[in-house]
Chain A
């Protein structure tokens, strides 16, 4: 109502002032003309204002923040309301845009590959991980049919049959034999015929599964072999009449097989103990000299026991060092002697074996065992520390190894933050070096001795 009254009031005011002008100029006869002129002036002025208002509305289409010209009365109110509405709309829009961006960055951050497909199975959006998994290009491959680029027959069949109940395992197109990449892909339908494709890297999972399978198979095989031999001898003893000498011989062989099984089980237990126990701290220190002295005594005894007269010649160096290693004495002793033991078993009788301790260039400490044995071919070196990995299965079993020695060494060294380095060439012997980092070694005594 106020809207109507205000306009009426202005109109009347214009008409009144026209009349007043006519009267003041002393031409009372033209009163009507004055009123009409006033009304006309109002019409022109109002029309001009309306035109400006419309122009402002037009401008708003391009620039929602355009400031209105100065209005008053009704138009001012209308303009303010329009502006408020526009502001609200802009805020709502910004909010939903932000939410969309949040959602997209959440999907981007996902460790899984995400591909969104429209109802024609064309790629609508994909995250960075999906690009890596499937070799997609996030910009160029939009609107591309997904089966044109992910051509795995299992996936194509699953999309064709629209059977999305189970995950599909497939080899990624980005996979190479050096860096295999296996994926589990699941598809979830949503909305009207749209699809949500999720891919997960299962390479490590499958490798772990394969390793577990191999491990169980290996353990069973390693245990079955001596058991078969034992069973054979038991049967012989049960069924055949044997002389005293033969019987003693058979029993001795049986004892060897049981000893082998005992070793194997012992090594397996040692491994599982190493895996289960916490990392040794830095408080306890072991003297390197004590470790080397025990190694020397054990090594000479073993070599003499195996080869008698033609025992290996040993050179032990670094015995006078006063270095200490922070760690567990029993474990380190076992790791060091395992390395020496390997050298003794793989070096022909009379060969030379050098064992010692020296300081590395970067402050680290190195325990090394160098032999003059047959050496190791380069393709075997990276796999030597795998459980039950054997270069020549018959030979190493014959020499009494369980196939777990180097795995145990590697485990112990890892627990002491140390690394195992293997340098060897066929025919030129091998050198195994355990490298301990500086913080695991204390040299206090030597430093104080020098000053």
Chain B
């Protein structure tokens, strides 16, 4: 994952932190998948599953932060190592938020099922956006493991696809609510689900930005795509 250090213990510390982050990433990925599956199949057990995993994610977040503090205090890293550790800390926060979004989706799914009118809602239309979100998070984590800059830039380019899907879906929900006011409560639930999916895409984008930060040393948050592309060339 990073170049060799004089102290091999330092290397293994860094690797251990990254591995823990990837483990957390794996948990989050399945959490999103299950949340989306719960929505597609109206499955309450799956939704409950998503909500329960949250505890393990939180525990991992605390563990990673503690490990980071220890490494920084003991090794006083500089340059790329410092950037890696800082980025891991930020990515952990982002992943934890993704987990929260998955949990939100699961809660909304349960509420939609409880309303009992679920089969009338355009749930299939969320398929494209949710597939995109799952794919983006997956690719962001892969790009982190490989420190793959081109892959990270691709993720930044694709985030607006989800945004476009979200806008289209919102328009559709409005037509549903106008046609039949009884669908309003379900529509609102679905709107929150769509928003959560859109937020997951944003978090994937943040992770991609931190990957560029680790490798290139430039903070590319809030900068334009063309600027990022010139940096990473």
| A interface residues with partner B (beta carbon < 8 Å) | 135, 137, 140-141, 144-145, 147-149, 151-153, 156, 171, 173, 176-177
Contact = CB atoms under 8 A, between A and B. Distances in A.
A208 to B, nearest CB: 19
A156 B26 contact: yes
17 contacts: A140-B146, A141-B146, A144-B1, A144-B146, A145-B15, A147-B22, A148-B1, A148-B18, A148-B19, A149-B142, A151-B23, A152-B26, A152-B29, A153-B27, A153-B30, A173-B142, A177-B127
Nearest to A170: B30
Interface in B5-59: 15, 18-19, 22-23, 25-27, 29-30, 33
Interface of B: 1, 15, 18-19, 22-23, 25-27, 29-30, 33, 127, 131, 135, 138, 141-142, 145-146
Nearest to B18: A148
A348 B80 CA distance: 75
* Chain A to chain B: the 7 pairs with minimum beta-carbon distance, closest first: A151-B26, A148-B145, A148-B22, A153-B27, A153-B26, A151-B25, A156-B23
A149 B23 CA distance: 10
Contact of B131 (A135, A144, A176): A176
B11 to A, nearest CB: 11
Contacts of A141: 146
A171 B138 CA distance: 13
Interface of B is mostly: helix
A177 B36 CA distance: 11
A141 B138 CA distance: 16
A151 B18 CA distance: 12
A151 B20 CA distance: 11
A152 B15 contact: no
Nearest to A140: B146
A158 to B, nearest CB: 12
A152 B145 contact: no
A171 B22 CA distance: 17
A152 B30 contact: yes
Contacts of B29: 151-152
Q: Which of B18, B26, B127 has the most CB of A within 10 A?
A: B26
Contacts of B145: 144-145, 148-149
A137 B150 CA distance: 15
Contacts of B135: 176
A160 B104 CA distance: 30
B33 A171 contact: yes
Contacts of A137: 146
A7 to B, nearest CB: 55
A135 B151 CA distance: 13
Nearest to B56: A153
Given A148-B22, A153-B27, 5 more contacts: A135-B142, A141-B146, A145-B19, A145-B145, A151-B26
Contacts of A144: 1, 145-146
A140 B147 CA distance: 11
A156 B26 CA distance: 9
